[in-house]
A and B are shown apart, each in its own frame.
Chain A
Amino acid sequence: MQKHRKNRNVAIIGIGQTALSSHKEDQNQVEMVAEAVRNALEDAGKTIDDIDCVVHGNMELFEMQFQPDMWHALGCGSYGKEEYRITTGGTVGATLVCASDNLVASGLYDTVLCIGFEKLQEGNTTGGITNMADPLWFRNLQTGALTSTTAMELIQKFGKERVLRAAMKYRIMMDKHAMLNPRAHRRLGLEYDQMETLMETSPQLVGELRLIHMCSQSDGACAMILTSEDRVREGTAKPPVWIRDHETSHREENMSNLYGARKPKSTHRDCAERLFARNGITDPLGYFDVFEMYDPSAFWAVDWLGEFLLLEGDEHLRLLEAGEFDLDGKLPVNPSGGVIASNPIGATAMLRIAEAALQIRGDAGGHQIKKEVRHALASGFGGSLWTVLMILEKEPNW
């Protein structure tokens, strides 16, 4: 079966974000989304009339609002245009970009605007997650997305002291990156010498998962403009960032099936194996210059670094401990501060791609990586450990 063959290449030419915070009381959802759209258009040097199609998404019902795209039509610029609505849970931000990539690559549309948003202050996260669970059985068991099972597994494999230190090192590293990113939501100013204190005093949530390890809940929107290579040739306001390829792995099973006697292959590794093989990338750690990973918690982040980069044994821990994932390391991870610093869920996965694209463009600002960034990797996460993985390139040379 012929798959993944694009009719033409697609580039990101516009990126817009709103500031991310916990409380946007002076804006309603439409206005918030419109702000991101305006920023994206300005970044791309385009007007709303240049957009052929709008792709809109968030985590359905997290604001307790059904079909918000209808309400947002006034702020999306989709009046008189075709619009698609996508909801895939936490991965939706990335799926929006994948879908937009497919739409432009297919030839159906030349320029697509994709928008991811979340205004959690208006809803109830626990309610949203409860409403996602199978109502016949799992709704009664819901703990609301907090889990320490991965920490347990890591501790079984590598020892408690080492794992707790690795998670805390990762957390502080993320905060240090966030401190350089004025758009990040939570910037706490943590220092490495606080490690011991935080490990002991941060309130326990579930098992080894403490408050310090968890991502935030933010309000915000992100919009991106994608266009075809013909249009890029006509001229762009900023350097284009090329979407080379993407892969999605959403598994069927519920959380029950993830922690049996034998664990199934993680969707992260599954995605990475297929995506890299298809693109002839045998050494992802060496190939990529930056990785914006969707990291909802420090323990998951530590585990998934190994999964995404196809590492074996404790190599991912050794690299983390040696500082190779820092801004000046071999493969900087989340220079933006990642999801632990800012999490407007429907936009979060898109922000990973946006931040990776900004790194390639060289205009990320304070958290820009000093070395040239030519190859970027971005991931999205959702639900029962689903994954979207995307490769971005500075030049269309594959």
Chain B
Amino acid sequence: MDLKDCFVVEAKMALPNQFFVGRIGSRWIIAMRDQKKIMGLRCEKCGVTYVPPREQCHRCWSWIADNWVEVGTTGELVNYTVVRYNDKHTPKKAPYVLGQIRLAGADTPLTHIVGDVDPADVYPGMKVQAVFADGPVNTLMQIDHFRPL
């Protein structure tokens, strides 16, 4: 097969999008924004408090949209990874720590950035505290990051 005419065409894949958080998600973010509170939704049947909250328990399929509970703004780092490369899609400059934090009262961990600490000093079980953003961000980054307690 004659390969002499092979070459590469550069293109862009367009991805304009708008993500609607929904009623539950909006309430969750607004509580963090306006009251600096972190909320979860609890399934009494399974005994699980979900953070981030969801309107239906996916295990037992119960409707839990009204069972709001407040969870703490501090928690424990379940586990973590250190991101060591840069890409236009990553939220921070490398190296930064991406952790799973189980807040006090929550049964599911929340993925977020752990900052104000040297990645080498991070360990599973570390106690961390939410640091809220100052103005309205209206996304998960209403919590700016977690820092060691």
Contacts and interface: CB of A to CB of B under 8 A. Distances in A.
A and B: direct contact (Cβ < 8 Å)? yes
Interface in B37-79: 54-56, 58-59, 61
Contacts of A80: 59
Interface string A20-53: 0000111110110010000000000001100000
Contacts of A27: 20, 22-23
Interface string B14-41: 1111111111110000000000000000
B54 A127 contact: no
B54 A64 contact: no
A47 B25 CA distance: 26
A211 to B, nearest CB: 23
Interface stretch (A131-139, A353-361, A381-389): A131-139
A121 B18 contact: yes
B1 interface: no
Interface in B92-135: none
- Chain B's interface size range is 20 to 34
Residue among A27, A73, A77 with the highest chain B CB neighbour number at 10 A: A27
Interface in A139-166: 139
Nearest to A140: B11
B149 interface: no
A57 to B, nearest CB: 19
Contacts of A48: 61
A130 B16 CA distance: 12
Given A130-B14, A131-B13, A131-B14, A25 B58 contact: no
B9 interface: yes
B54 A30 contact: yes
Contact of A77 (B11, B18, B21, B61): B61
A127 B16 contact: yes
A31 B19 contact: no
A64 B19 CA distance: 10
B105 to A, nearest CB: 21
A28 B20 contact: yes
Contacts, number: 63
A31 B17 contact: no
Residue among B11, B13, B15 with the highest chain A CB neighbour number at 10 A: B15
Nearest to B56: A34
A73 B58 CA distance: 8
Contacts of B19: 28, 122
Contacts of A47: 61
Nearest to B18: A122
Nearest to B24: A31
Contacts of A28: 19-22, 25
Given A77-B61, A79-B59, A135 B9 contact: yes
A26 B17 contact: no
Nearest to A31: B22
A247 interface: no
A135 B11 contact: yes
A63 to B, nearest CB: 7
A123 interface: yes
A74 interface: yes
Interface string A73-113: 11101011000000000000000000000000000000000
A65 B15 CA distance: 9
B15 A26 contact: no
A185 B20 CA distance: 20
Interface in A162-187: none
A75 B14 contact: no
A10 to B, nearest CB: 24
Interface of B: 9, 11, 13-25, 54-56, 58-59, 61
* Among all A-B residue pairs, the 4 with the closest Cβ atoms: A64-B17, A28-B22, A64-B15, A74-B58
Given A26-B23, A122-B17, A127-B15, 8 more contacts: A28-B25, A31-B24, A34-B55, A64-B16, A75-B58, A79-B59, A119-B20, A139-B11
Interface of A: 24-28, 30-31, 34, 47-48, 61, 63-65, 73-75, 77, 79-80, 119, 121-124, 127, 130-131, 135-136, 139
19 contacts: A26-B20, A27-B22, A27-B23, A34-B56, A61-B15, A64-B15, A73-B58, A74-B54, A74-B56, A75-B56, A77-B61, A121-B18, A121-B20, A122-B17, A122-B20, A123-B17, A123-B18, A127-B15, A135-B9
